[in-house]
Amino acid sequence: MVLSAFFYNPQGDHRLSWRHPAAPGREIFDLDYYRRLAEVAEEAKIDTIFIADHLGIWDTFESGVAHYANARLEPLSLVGALSAVTKKIGFIVTASTSYNEPYNIARTFASLDHLSKGRVAWNVVTSALEEEARNYGLSANINHATRYQRADEFLDVVTRLWDSWEDGALLINKESGYFADPSKIHYLNHSGTHFKVRGPLNVARSPQGHPLIVQAGSSEAGRELATDHADIHFAVFRNEDEGRRYRTDIDERLVKKGRGPESFLLLPGILPVVASSRQEAEERQAALEELMIDRVSLDLLSSWSAMDLSAYPIDGPMPELPDEAKFDGWRTWLNIVKSETSNAVTIRQLARKIANTGSVPMVSGTVTDVADQMEAWFTSGVADGFNLMFPLLPDDWVNFARSVVPELQRRGLFRTEYEEGTFRDRLQLPRPANHINRH
Amino acid sequence: MVLSAFFYNPQGDHRLSWRHPAAPGREIFDLDYYRRLAEVAEEAKIDTIFIADHLGIWDTFESGVAHYANARLEPLSLVGALSAVTKKIGFIVTASTSYNEPYNIARTFASLDHLSKGRVAWNVVTSALEEEARNYGLSANINHATRYQRADEFLDVVTRLWDSWEDGALLINKESGYFADPSKIHYLNHSGTHFKVRGPLNVARSPQGHPLIVQAGSSEAGRELATDHADIHFAVFRNEDEGRRYRTDIDERLVKKGRGPESFLLLPGILPVVASSRQEAEERQAALEELMIDRVSLDLLSSWSAMDLSAYPIDGPMPELPDEAKFDGWRTWLNIVKSETSNAVTIRQLARKIANTGSVPMVSGTVTDVADQMEAWFTSGVADGFNLMFPLLPDDWVNFARSVVPELQRRGLFRTEYEEGTFRDRLQLPRPANHINRH
């Protein structure tokens, strides 16, 4: 079982968890806070930390600026620092294909892979928010299809830049004066729709060959991108049945592309709420939900449906939602909104439900309850592991690592020591062949 | 006296130092190598490490790929890691204004400033090499004037992004539900020649207010950029007379711009060669020069003069060099080539001279000799300190830190303990006011 400990808000996945008495304050800007999280996860032999990211603050609606935890550290810098104070744990780091240059991303991930001795993965995102677009020269976000086409070409360029130094290219032969073997250093001379990149990279091939590729969007284009390029897919489904359909769909795509399903790890997200009893778990969650502010929940719902709901009566019914196929926003969220509309009579109810529930199913109860449900999903084959989205940090993270992980270890479902080698080695994913000349 | 320990090649500043028996091999990709350099510098209370960078490999001529140490780590990732394993030393990190987005650079430096508790500086470069341009969608490098205009706008946007969160903007008031004070978070709504950026940044204002700005080009446009924006200027001059003229020129520019000269630190580069006797120092340098390969030196000269010299007889005279005012390459190097042409009869001689000498004057001799010359430049006022470009790493770095630094301390010219506070505080540079509304 693969375990990935996730955060976007360093205060936890519940959107207003920053208000909780046990949530961190200004220490979210100190390395020590993250170092402690990493150390706890590493003691538990958790596979990886997963850091999400956005390229702007969430402020389409006024409440975002005042009430949302909009300030955070840039994740690549943070992982640079964390790689120096950890030994074994992996790092999945988010970077956008829409607002970066492939040469810069290829260099940074190759360097982090060297510095961490083979422990980094790139979570590829296309950046769906208009708030992000407007920080990068645009007045609206790039349409969904173009974003994904650009991502596809971006990934092709980055992986070939990683291949531009073959494994044996670096000689450092002081006698002969040959630092490198020119026959093993390759030019891309790439000229595509979005990019023109000559290469080669100025970083020698890194310990994992390629840092792992992670993809985390469940739209049609997201699943295509994932099965084309990714090693790990962060999926969103709400129950085992949905999971089975999801897995079948993914496996069919993989087979069509000539990939064995064993080369691809499917990690659904779950929101673990662990307590000494089911009742206490429910109380913990209720205490978090009380922190929600009505204005924020309404604004969140407006943002995800790309509709200004403040124009509608808050205790009236929800207006019709946009058509997914024509939707340029974040389709995963739109679908979650759609799936919850039947459970809420008014806009206020739907907003609260959505704002508190988050994107992934809650797995709540005692240590045994949580381990049982994880075991069920794992043994039934819908999950190769889990992306753990803790409602409140650091407490839920520390608690999970020290209670649920030992239970999973007792059941023989999870490692008790880190295996040797890189992050890729531990996941038994093959070191990629050099594809520089595939074009 | 401010001391900055510089490297571009992690094997030292001499261009083929990687061939020296004492130079590092594959450990240039390991954090431990850099950690040791940082620890030695920090023990000596050196102000800062300065990491230069290029966005490509030097391969205009074939010899570059085979014989030049073209593979290295990306410096921002490296400094992320080093900030986690050091406490006091500063980091000057190079990033290009031509091949990055201002929002990304503002975020990364603000994050590194938080992670290091106020120890980072940004060395602003405009990337003059065609090898770099061709990795970023272009077929030739951007002309000199446009590069500097873009840099000027880039710096304006980045500093205003740093100002977009005022010092008091972050509230994290759990009771009231106010994470931030919206009246202290600002939009840039910048729409200029090169960039359109809305803001605000998603990182709260960092410990130094602004990470320090460093500029390192001595062309007319470089000096203008430096006196407009920089806190620290890395200058190239060859003797005290040149230095005096340089300082006068810079001071006049500062005064014209309403800046006090005390807000600006001028650090000339020197190449310190320290040994137990003058003769041994000369032998050390001669041993490095023996590592040079004729083909590499000729190709370097061709590159800096933007002329293919392989078409000329190597033992014949040097053809006429391009006019600086129309030169889109690296004007600093062109001037160094020009200044050496009178000392060399043939192309081969000039190439060897240039390739071995480097860009800055050598300060060679015993500990006393080197300290004497540094003291002279410092007390005469031409230098506020030095950018130390060691011929061979790690030996020259370690040797300098353990021999010349104690001598400078004995003379009362250099600190014996780090002062409290940030890098900016130690240099007695004022924390910048918030200029978000200056436009």
- Calpha distance A204→A161 (Å, rounded): 10
Please give the pLDDT value at position A26.
Answer: 97
Structure tokens at B12: 């030292």
- Which 8-state DSSP code applies to residue B359? S
pLDDT tens column, B162-209: 999 999 999 999 999 999 999 999 999 999 999 999 999 999 999 999
pLDDT tens column, A279-333: 999 999 899 999 999 888 998 898 888 888 888 999 999 998 888 888 877 787 7
Q: Report residue B430's pLDDT band, with 50, 70 and 90 as the boundaries.
A: confident
Residues of A within 8 A of B167 (CB-CB) are none
Q: Report residue A439's pLDDT band, with 50, 70 and 90 as the boundaries.
A: very low
Please give the pLDDT value at position A326.
Answer: 82
Residues of B within 8 A of A31 (CB-CB) are 83-84, 115
Residues 88-107 of A with CB under 8 A from B: 99-101, 103-104, 107
| Closest B-chain CA to A26 | B172
Q: Residue B297: CA atoms inside 13 Å, Cβ hemisphere, count?
A: 22
Superfamily of domain B2-275+360-426: Luciferase-like domain (3.20.20.30)
Is B194 annotated for ligand binding? Answer: no
- Mutate which: B158, B164, B179, B186, vs A, most A CBs within 10 A: B179
Residue in B178, B200, B203 nearest the CB of A74: B203
Please give the pLDDT value at position A52.
Answer: 97
> Once rounded to an integer, what is the mean pLDDT over residues B122-145?
92
Burial A368-397 (b: 16+ CB within 10 A, else e): ebbbebbeebbeeebbbbbbbbbbbbbbbb
Domain ranges of chain A: 2-277+361-426
- pLDDT at position B353 over 90: no
Is B148 annotated for ligand binding? Answer: yes
Q: Report residue B397's pLDDT band, with 50, 70 and 90 as the boundaries.
A: very high
| Closest A-chain CA to B203 | A71
Structure tokens at B31: 């954090």
Of the options 3.40.50.150, 3.20.20.30, 3.10.20.90, 3.40.50.300, the CATH number for the domain spanning A2-277+361-426: 3.20.20.30
Q: Which residue has the higher pLDDT, B140 or B91?
A: B91
Residues 120-139 of A with CB under 8 A from B: 131, 134-139
Q: Report residue B156's pLDDT band, with 50, 70 and 90 as the boundaries.
A: very high
Please give the pLDDT value at position B337.
Answer: 87
Distance from the B413 Cα atom to the nearest Cα atom in chain A, whole angstroms: 33
Q: Report residue B439's pLDDT band, with 50, 70 and 90 as the boundaries.
A: very low
- Note whether B26 contacts A: Cβ–Cβ < 8 A: yes
- Note whether B69 contacts A: Cβ–Cβ < 8 A: yes
Distance from the A160 Cα atom to the nearest Cα atom in chain B, whole angstroms: 13
> A77: closest CA among B9, B197, B104?
B104
- Note whether B189 contacts A: Cβ–Cβ < 8 A: no
- Calpha distance A227→B148 (Å, rounded): 43
Please give the pLDDT value at position A183.
Answer: 94
Task: Say if CB A66 and CB A4 are below 8 A apart.
Answer: no
Peptide bond into A75 cis (omega under 30): no
Would you call B103 and A198 a contact, using CB atoms and an 8 Å cutoff? no
Residues of B within 8 A of A15 (CB-CB) are none
- pLDDT at position A348 over 70: yes
pLDDT tens column, A191-228: 999 999 999 999 999 999 999 999 998 889 999 999 99
Q: Report residue A437's pLDDT band, with 50, 70 and 90 as the boundaries.
A: low
- Calpha distance B24→B38 (Å, rounded): 15
Task: Find where tokens 């049982």 sit.
Answer: A372
| Closest B-chain CA to A21 | B174
- Give kind and range of the element (H or E) at residue B48: strand B48-51
> Once rounded to an integer, what is the mean pLDDT over residues A370-389?
97
Would you call B66 and A179 a contact, using CB atoms and an 8 Å cutoff? yes
Please give the pLDDT value at position B437.
Answer: 58
Q: What average pLDDT is seen over chain B?
A: 93
Task: Find where tokens 């001669």 sit.
Answer: B286
Residues of A within 8 A of B111 (CB-CB) are 73-74, 77-78
Would you call A72 and B203 a contact, using CB atoms and an 8 Å cutoff? yes
To the nearest whole percent, how much of chain B has pLDDT over 90? 78
Task: Say if CB B387 and CB B245 are below 8 A apart.
Answer: no
Q: Does the reported pTM lie above 0.80?
A: yes
Pairing of strands B178-180, B170-173: antiparallel
Residue in B55, B101, B293 nearest the CB of A99: B101
pLDDT tens column, B361-377: 999 999 999 999 999 99
What ipTM was reported for this prediction? 0.94
- pLDDT at position A360 over 90: no
Would you call A77 and B108 a contact, using CB atoms and an 8 Å cutoff? yes
- Calpha distance A288→A355 (Å, rounded): 11
